[in-house]
């Protein structure tokens, strides 16, 4: 499998990156990327499989180095002493504390900077990617080498602070730079038969993963048969999709995506802004489109016929009101 490549169409102009630290300074750098769920969000929480793809146009870089005095944080959301970081950074602070504890340096003072181009709360794995990059940087600055499972557990610790009982899909995929199959907490590479060009369109509405996960749980209590049937169908779609991706059957992939959107909406995690962009994508020539991530806002993922039609599709989605649009290509064998 070759590495995917990405082309930003309309980078989100509202995003600013904080720059602090450089390669010449002592310390360590951690990196992670955005992800989009091709199929299986929510169903993975109930043990069904999922497929995720990297979005290489968007990523996070974190740098950590020993502080001279108290530790400082430099990020888009906050600049100042770590001890005074606001509550909305509690996931990042959980990541820092978990990494320091794992490295056996719970009281160490570090200067940490975070540069991220991943929009937060859009279902693109921002929280897991920031945590992954920060944990890697903090462990590196402490001279601690973590194995893959330790890294995963540390990211999961931060993800639990973000949304309760995460499946582990985000924690695994923000560090994987290729399409992955996720099942029972583990990932495997997915073989890709032909190039797949996806367009991602941001509704501009904050996704609400925690609320969406809770809504599905509640619906499953009140209507277990219907919800289990939808989860089973999502699981079956993911399983079929894996072979469609390996043979490069774009029509079948698109139709599975569109069906997944209907099922997810039926589970109560849709939003009118998502439906609007899914319809615009379909009208604009997408072979299929769906919400991606937790839902109730966030982004839509559409499959384009090829790179040229992805550019047209991106323009169409921008005209339909998307706050930002990116393309991501998962390269296949042919
Ligand atoms: O919205 P995101 O990017 O955090 O994705 C959430 C994916 C869910 O399946 C809804 C939850 C999970 O833990 O897997």
- 11-20, 172-181, 323-332: least confidently modelled range: 11-20
In the reported structure, the alpha carbon of residue 156 is separated from the centroid of ligand 1 by a whole-number distance in angstroms of 12
Report which ligand 1 atom has the smallest distance to the Cα of 209: 1
Q: Which of 170, 202, 244, 271 is labelled catalytic?
A: 170
In the reported structure, the alpha carbon of residue 220 is separated from the centroid of ligand 1 by a whole-number distance in angstroms of 17
244 is catalytic: no
**Domain assignments of the chain as residue spans, ordered by start:** 15-183, 192-330
Across all residues in the chain, what is the average pLDDT? 92
Q: Ligand 1 pocket: which residues have CB below 6 Å?
A: 41-42, 44-45, 123, 125, 166-167, 169-170, 207, 209, 213, 293-294
- State percent of the chain over pLDDT 90: 87
Report which ligand 1 atom has the smallest distance to the Cα of 126: 3
Q: From residue 38, give the alpha-carbon distance in Å to each of 52, 159, 310, 317.
A: 5, 20, 16, 19
Residues 6 or more apart whose Cβ sits within 8 Å of residue 318:
9, 10, 201, 325
In the reported structure, the alpha carbon of residue 124 is separated from the centroid of ligand 1 by a whole-number distance in angstroms of 9
Report which ligand 1 atom has the smallest distance to the Cα of 127: 4
Q: Choose which residue among 167, 217, 269 to substitute to test ligand 1 binding: the one with the highest number of ligand atoms within 8 A of its C-beta.
A: 167
- State percent of the chain over pLDDT 70: 92
Query: Mind listing the pLDDT tens digit for each residue in 232-271?
Result: 999 999 999 999 999 999 999 999 999 999 999 999 999 9
pLDDT of residue 146: 95
Pairing of strands 186-189, 110-116: unpaired
Residue ID of nearest Cα to ligand 1 atom 3 = 123
Contact criterion met (CB below 8 Å) for 292 and 264: no
- First-to-last alpha carbon distance for the chain, in angstroms, is 10
Region 46-55 average pLDDT: 97
Length, in residues, of the chain: 334
In the reported structure, the alpha carbon of residue 166 is separated from the centroid of ligand 1 by a whole-number distance in angstroms of 7
Query: Mind listing the pLDDT tens digit for each residue in 58-68?
Result: 999 999 999 99
State how far the Cα of 68 lies from the Cα of 325, in Å rounded to an integer.
Answer: 41
Domain 15-183 listed as CATH 3.30.230.10: yes
In the reported structure, the alpha carbon of residue 292 is separated from the centroid of ligand 1 by a whole-number distance in angstroms of 9
pLDDT of residue 12: 30
pLDDT of residue 25: 52
pLDDT of residue 13: 26
Query: Mind listing the pLDDT tens digit for each residue in 21-47?
Result: 444 457 999 999 999 999 999 999 999
Pairing of strands 72-74, 110-116: parallel
Q: Specify the CATH architecture of the domain 192-330.
A: 2-Layer Sandwich (3.30)
Query: Mind listing the pLDDT tens digit for each residue in 92-140?
Result: 999 999 999 999 999 899 999 999 999 999 999 999 999 999 999 999 9
State how far the Cα of 330 lies from the Cα of 3, in Å rounded to an integer.
Answer: 7
Strands in the chain per DSSP E: 5-10, 28-39, 50-66, 72-74, 79-81, 110-116, 180-183, 186-189, 196-202, 288-292, 299-304, 324-330
Query: Mind listing the pLDDT tens digit for each residue in 85-105?
Result: 999 999 999 999 999 999 999
């Amino acid at each position: 499998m070759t590495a995917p490549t990405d082309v930003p169409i309309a980078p989100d102009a509202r995003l600013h990156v904080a720059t602090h630290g450089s390669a010449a300074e002592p310390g360590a750098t951690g990196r992670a990327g955005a992800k989009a769920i091709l199929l299986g969000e929510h169903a993975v929480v109930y043990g069904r499989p999922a497929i995720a793809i990297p979005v290489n146009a968007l990523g996070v870089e974190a740098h950590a180095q020993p502080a001279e005095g108290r530790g400082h944080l430099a990020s888009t959301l906050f600049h100042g002493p770590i001890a005074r970081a606001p509550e909305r950074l509690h996931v990042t602070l959980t990541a820092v504390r978990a990494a320091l504890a794992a490295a056996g340096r719970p009281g160490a003072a570090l200067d940490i900077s975070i540069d991220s181009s991943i929009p937060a709360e859009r279902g693109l794995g921002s929280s897991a990617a920031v945590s992954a990059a920060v944990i890697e940087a903090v462990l590196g600055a402490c001279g601690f080498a973590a194995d893959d499972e330790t890294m995963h557990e540390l990211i999961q610790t931060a993800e639990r602070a973000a949304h309760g009982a995460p499946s582990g899909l985000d924690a695994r995929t923000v560090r994987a730079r290729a399409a992955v199959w996720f099942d029972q907490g583990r990932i495997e590479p997915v073989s890709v038969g032909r190039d797949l060009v996806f367009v991602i369109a941001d509704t501009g509405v904050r996704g609400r993963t925690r609320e969406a996960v809770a809504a599905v749980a509640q619906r499953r209590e009140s209507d277990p048969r219907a919800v289990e049937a939808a989860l089973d169908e999502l699981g079956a779609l993911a399983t079929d999709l894996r072979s469609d991706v390996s043979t490069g059957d774009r029509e079948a992939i698109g139709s599975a995506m569109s069906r997944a959107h209907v099922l997810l909406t039926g589970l109560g995690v849709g939003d009118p802004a998502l439906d609007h962009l899914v319809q615009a994508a379909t009208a604009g020539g997408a072979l299929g489109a769906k919400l991606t991530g937790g839902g109730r806002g966030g982004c839509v993922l559409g499959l384009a016929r090829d790179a040229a039609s992805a550019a047209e599709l991106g323009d169409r989605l921008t005209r339909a009101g998307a706050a930002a649009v990116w393309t991501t290509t998962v390269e296949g064998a042919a």
